[in-house]
Amino acid sequence: MFFGQCASFEQDLWLCRAFRAVSVTEVTAKVKGTTMRKIATAIAAAVVAAGVGFIAPAASSAATTQETSAAQSVSAQTSSITWGTCAEKALAQAGAKCGYLAVPLNYSDPGGPKIKIAVSRILHTSSAKNYRGIILTNPGGPGGSGLDLNMFLIAQLKADKLSAAAADYDWIGFDPRGVGSSIPAISCEPNYFSGDRESYDPTTKSILNYWLTRSQGYDQACAAKSSAQSALLDNMTTVDSAQDMNSIRCALVGQGGKMSYYGFSYGTYLGQVYATLYPHTLNQLILDSNVDPRQVWYQANLNQDIAFNRNINIWFGWLAKYNRVYHLGATEAAVSKRWYAELATLAKHPISGVVGPDEWTDIFLEAGYYQLTWLQLGSAFADWENTRSKAAAANLVSLYQGTDTPGNDNEFAVYNAVQCTDVQWPTSWPVWQADNDAVNRIAPFETWDNAWFNAPCLNWPAPAQQPVQVASQGSGYAIHSALLIDETLDAATPFEGSLEVRQLFPNSVLLAEPGGTTHADSLFGNLCVDGAIASYLETGKTPPRKPGAEWDLTCKPLPVPNPTAASGAAAASASGSARSGVASIR
């Protein structure tokens, strides 16, 4: 699944914050996008419709030697960025300028073919005395568009009345190679997620063969698209993207200049790799919801299955707590039974011929990512179960379209292009079968959903590489400070990843939110968390590290949604579809 998302099969993050600008109803009604798997894409589409733009116009000696060699190899080939007006209204109104940076397709051949990375920049507004340089941002994925992430982060800092932290930096957004507005953008089979598909759970040989054939067909479509895409697929690792970040740094501040970095979800792994390759080029380093570098990527996805199963049960328990609102059952077990009963029914009778068991699972997976979705998804579940109305059916179809984004596979294609080549996945299907069967027995919610999401890695048409050993050659000690953030019940990037990264970077501090289930939620309105980030950005100093402790700073997570609160009642009335005592809250 995606590692990032106010998605993503693990999708990634910036998109969630767009909820503050566009309603979920708008998001699901104006879908066009890629995947968060995937609220992210739905939000992106709605935000674009609202005028938010993504498209740019026409420290040991060993660590020092490693990064110097890498920097020298790119510096001679680094081009400049010609800044112009951003094509989309909201990004331009935020004061951004946009442009392209030409970078080597293959950094081992710096004089060879080039690709273009779409970049945006919002300049600092502070005095020269307070200016702290550039900060690159990444929302995760892999495959998430980050061209306008800078705009969202600045807006949240201002909303929190933490404007100084925003004012002191040039905020840089970019679409990683292959993503969104970067050229070329990868696409293999745009309608790969069109419903109704065979059930994810391969309970018969026919279903198993369907998914193996479907996955292999996607690989073949990726390989056959064009010679340019095939060449790019050979150069899509996290290391390649880290080298692109270094090219952006060199283009903006020169080979000897430094930058800061703020990454979410998969973007934390990108940051870990960058910090390993170029440790002495970093000022501030903020990593929210850390990928465990020991687990990339096969085991990481199996770990997600167990964590998402836990979180969906937490959501079922929340629905049961508010049974007077949702009427889905008075206990977690009762709600769970009803959800899985519907899953079985949909295998034979998909909603509107579109939402079958796969689409049903994909829709409600988002509840395991973000508590922000609980009200809307609870309403959608309850409306369908208690009314079976055309409106409830149409809402679920819309939610599926917003989640799976049929018609645009860019994020999914890049997700596989990166993960399938970062490291060698098992090449034997019986290994996949045995491992997923074992996990599915204890965590049935999304295990096979996730397995098939990653199944293109079984026969991916580009060679796998060796992953970087994060914090190797003294680079971990060379990072003078880093702020790590995570909720302890994060499912997309389980908390153990943040604990591991804290150990790998001895000068880092970890801010934990005990009991929280939301993924990648910093700069999201929690003043304890956001204030710690702002302080670090303004001063370059982190809170003290606590020797012997698991983490160093504690913040309470945001309150769990309450559908009986005034805001919930207002949202319910806005939906116009409350029936049989069921509140439809959007």
Phi, psi of 428 (to 5 degrees): -105, 120
Annotated catalytic residue: which of 292, 404, 490, 521? 490
Q: In what order do the strands lie in the sheet with 482-487?
A: 84-85, 97-104, 114-122, 170-175, 134-138, 259-264, 282-288, 482-487, 508-513, 553-554
Task: Return d(Cα 99, Cα 181) in angstroms, integer.
Answer: 10
**124 given a catalytic annotation:** no
Residue type at 240 in one-letter notation: D
Return the SS3 of 457. helix
Q: Which long-range contacts (CB under 8 A, 24 or more apart) does 428-432 make?
A: 429/212, 429/458, 432/458
Task: Return d(Cα 481, Cα 261) in angstroms, integer.
Answer: 12
Residue type at 53 in one-letter notation: G
Task: Return d(Cα 126, Cα 547) in angstroms, integer.
Answer: 36
Phi, psi of 532 (to 5 degrees): -65, -40
Which residue reads 């005034």 in tokens? 566
Within a 13 Å sphere around the CA of 98, how many CA atoms are in the beta-carbon half?
A: 30
Annotated catalytic residue: which of 519, 521, 522, 552? 519
> Helices 374-387 and 298-321 sit at what angle, rounded to 10 degrees?
70
Q: Where are the alpha helices (DSSP H) in 322-457?
A: 323-326, 332-346, 357-369, 374-387, 390-404, 410-422, 429-442, 447-454
Annotated catalytic residue: which of 120, 145, 215, 265? 265
Q: Which residues contact 290 (CB under 8 A, 6 or more apart)?
A: 268, 269, 272, 484, 486, 493, 497, 498, 500, 501
Q: Which residues are catalytic?
A: 265, 490, 519
